[in-house]
Structure formats: structure tokens, C-alpha cells
């Protein structure tokens, strides 16, 4: 496991480097002038030149990238183009908001999805299986924004007006005191993530229940509940962990749409606002953070799968 972890970390470094290059080039390709976007069309030539000098925008691209990369590696993310503050101060609270939103959604959706996957597998081709599978397929066919808008129409309008339609958090209050503002975004994320996890767990469990060792356990007269919990479930722990990791990685990207729809003050909404205002430092930092999160989740999932699968551990020796 140590060798595998070191190997994954060794691959993570060039991956993050490649992401940083792509992100930097992508921000340079954005239409318009960052100085004009920040100062407005009425800015004087002297003001625009001073802005470019301040943020090193008049330097060659290679010099800009190396300066930005060096500062980032030392923890200096620079200053925002559109706000009189540093990028760290601008997105610090938003990172916390997004992590809380993702954590709550994951803690709710993953156990339910795994449970539904096991339930439908053990009742294959029965009424419960058909109902749950149809519901999962229906939800899975809906785009993120359609599901979000549908929940707003259902739970935040005249139909059943029990929740706020937007989630504009007050920074002066604790997140716990504003729990109602999390309900709709969390519910949307839960419904979006559950179908994929549940259907994958169902497929893995069905395959495991048809394996030879499970047939042998049935021939020995073991109760079906014990067969599922003691013989089948441990063998799908690795694949289940992998699909959970993929869902968490999807949350890191899908959070952009959800936060925009609900106006939730997280990194997703900050990224959309930064693209609109051509705030290059904010775009670069948020995109790299999302990429680092994606890589970290996959590394943890690989290590967890290795720990849960003895045959894989033997194969790595």
C-alpha cells in the first residue's frame, strides 16, 4: 500500500502541473481584456497600463505563468481583479460553504444509494426492484438545472411553499442557524448522485449473488440475510468505494450548476462570477482546487479499494 500511495502521489504531481498549464492557457484565451473588464470601458489608457503592470499582465506568457506558479506554490494566490481583496480572503469562506454542502449531501446520499442498490439486487425482477429502478432511471435522465428548478417550483413556490427558493447565506450567522438554506441544494445533489451509485451497486451485487461461493453458501442452508451481509457485501466493498469516489468527484464539478441555480455562496458560484468578470486569479485558483480535490478523492479511493480487496494486495507484492 505504501508503494501504491507513493506511486499515486508521484502521478498526482505531473497531473496537477498539466492542469495548471491548461487552466492558465484557458484563462488567457478568454475573450476581452481583463484590465478593461476590471476598470470599465471608461478607464483611461494610463489606468489600464498601471493595472497591467500591477498584475504582471504586460509580461510574456511564460513569465506570467512561472510567476503565478511560484506564488501559488508558496501559498500566495494573488489578488482579485474585481474585488479589493486577496483571492484567499475572497474564496476562503466559500470553500467552507461548498465543503459543508458536499459533505452533507454525501453523508445522506451514499448510505441511501448503497441500501437501495442492495435492496433492488436482492429483489431482482420483483415489484420493488422495478419501482426503484424506474424512479432512479427517471431522476438520472433529468439535467441538473431541470431537477433544481423543479424542486424550487415544488417546494419554494405556491405549490408547497416550505423552503426558500434561494440560498443566500448570511456570513454573520452560523451555518447551523441557516440550515433551511441548505435543504434544497442538498436535496438536489442527493437526488442527482443516488441513481448512479444505486444502479452500480445493484449490478455488482447481482453479479456477486450469482457467484459460485454464494451458491455454495445457499446449498449449505445459510439464511439469505447472512449470505448477503457476510458473503456478498464484503466482496463488493471495493467497487462500491470506487463508485462513491466517482460520485464525490462529480459533486466537485456539478456543484457549479447547483450553486448558480440556488445562488449558494460557494466556490461554484464564485467561479461563474469570476468567468463573467474575467477575474483570472480567482478562476485559476478555484479550477486548480477542484482538480486537486478530484485527484485526492481518487487516490483515497484506490487506497481504500486496495485495503478492502485482499486479492489486489497480493497482486501488488
Please state, in angstroms and rounded to a whole number, the distance separating the CA atoms of residues 244 and 179: 25
Non-local CB neighbours of 148 within 8 Å, separated by 6+ positions: 184, 185, 188, 257, 258, 261, 262
What one-character-per-residue DSSP string does the chain give? -HHHHHHHHHHHHHHHHHHHHHHHHHHHTSSS-HHHHHH-TT--HHHHHHHHHHTTTTS-HHHHHHHHHHHHHTT---B-SSSSSBHHHHHHHHHHHHHHHHHHHHHHHHHHHHHHHHHHHHTTTSHHHHHHHHHHHHHHTS-HHHHHHHHHHHHSSSSS--S-SS----TTS-TGGGTHHHHHHHHHHHHHHHHHHHHHHHHHHHHHHTSHHHHHHHHTT--HHHIIIIIIGGGGHHHHHHHHHHHHHHHHHHHHHHHHHHT--SHHHHHHHHHHHT-HHHHHHHHHHHHHHHHHHHHHHHHHHHHH-HHHHHHT-
pLDDT of residue 312: 56
Q: Which residues contact 37 (CB under 8 A, 6 or more apart)?
A: 81, 82, 277, 278
pLDDT of 213 = 85
C-alpha cell at 302: 484506490
Separation of alpha carbons 50 and 27, rounded Å: 20
- Of 243, 254, 268, 290, nearest in space to 142 by CA: 254
Indicate if the pLDDT at residue 308 is higher than 90: no
* Residue from 254, 266, 262 nearest 98 by CA: 266
* Per-residue pLDDT tens digits for 35-72: 888 888 888 889 888 888 888 888 888 998 999 999 88
CATH of range 90-315; options 1.10.3720.10, 3.40.30.10, 2.40.50.140, 3.20.20.210: 1.10.3720.10
pLDDT tens column, 68-123: 999 888 888 888 888 888 999 999 889 999 999 999 999 999 999 999 999 999 89
Read off the pLDDT of residues 121-179 as tens digits, 9 standing for 90 and up: 989 989 989 999 999 999 988 888 899 999 999 998 877 888 888 888 888 888 888 88
Question: What confidence score (pLDDT) does residue 317 get?
Answer: 46
Which residue shows C-alpha cell 419554494? Answer: 156
CB 103 within 8 A of CB 251: no
Average of per-residue pLDDT values in the chain = 87
Q: Cα dihedral sign for 272, 277, 278, 280?
A: negative
- Which part of the chain is CATH 1.10.3720.10? 90-315
Locate cell 503565478: which residue? 68
| pLDDT tens string 235-284 | 888 888 888 888 888 887 788 889 999 999 999 999 999 988 888 899 99
Q: State the pTM of this model.
A: 0.85
Q: Is 205 left (phi over 0), alpha (psi -120 to 50) or beta?
A: alpha
Amino acid at each position: 500500500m505504501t508503494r501504491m500511495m507513493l506511486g499515486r502521489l508521484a502521478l498526482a504531481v505531473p497531473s496537477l502541473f498539466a492542469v495548471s498549464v491548461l487552466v492558465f492557457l484557458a484563462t488567457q484565451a478568454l475573450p476581452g481584456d481583463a484590465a478593461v473588464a476590471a476598470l470599465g470601458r471608461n478607464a483611461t489608457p494610463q489606468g489600464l497600463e498601471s493595472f497591467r503592470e500591477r498584475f504582471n499582465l504586460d509580461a510574456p506568457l511564460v513569465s506570467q505563468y512561472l510567476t503565478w506558479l511560484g506564488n501559488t506554490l508558496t501559498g500566495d494566490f494573488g489578488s482579485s481583479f474585481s474585488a479589493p481583496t486577496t483571492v484567499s480572503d475572497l474564496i476562503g469562506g466559500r470553500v467552507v460553504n461548498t465543503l459543508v454542502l458536499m459533505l452533507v449531501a454525501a453523508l445522506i446520499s451514499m448510505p441511501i444509494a448503497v441500501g437501495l442498490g442492495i435492496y433492488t439486487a436482492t429483489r431482482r425482477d420483483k415489484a420493488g426492484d422495478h419501482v426503484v429502478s424506474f424512479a432512479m432511471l427517471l431522476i438520472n435522465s433529468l439535467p441538473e438545472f431541470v431537477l433544481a428548478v423543479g424542486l424550487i417550483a415544488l417546494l419554494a413556490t405556491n405549490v408547497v411553499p416550505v423552503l426558500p427558493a434561494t440560498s443566500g447565506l448570511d456570513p454573520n450567522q452560523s451555518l447551523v442557524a441557516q440550515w433551511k438554506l441548505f435543504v434544497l441544494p442538498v436535496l438536489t445533489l442527493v437526488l442527482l448522485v443516488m441513481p448512479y451509485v444505486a444502479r452500480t451497486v445493484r449490478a455488482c451485487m447481482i453479479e456477486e449473488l450469482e457467484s459460485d461461493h454464494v451458491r455454495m453458501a445457499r446449498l449449505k442452508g445459510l439464511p439469505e440475510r447472512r449470505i448477503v451481509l457476510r458473503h456478498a457485501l464484503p466482496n463488493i466493498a471495493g467497487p462500491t468505494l470506487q463508485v462513491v469516489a466517482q460520485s464525490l468527484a462529480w459533486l466537485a464539478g456539478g456543484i457549479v450548476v447547483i450553486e448558480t441555480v440556488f445562488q449558494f455562496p460557494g466556490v461554484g458560484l464564485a467561479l461563474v462570477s469570476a468567468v463573467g468578470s474575467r477575474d483570472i486569479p480567482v478562476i485559476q485558483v478555484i479550477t486548480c482546487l477542484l482538480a486537486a480535490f478530484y485527484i485526492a478523492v481518487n487516490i483515497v479511493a484506490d487506497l481504500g479499494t486496495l485495503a478492502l480487496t485482499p486479492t489486489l494486495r497480493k497482486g501488488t507484492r
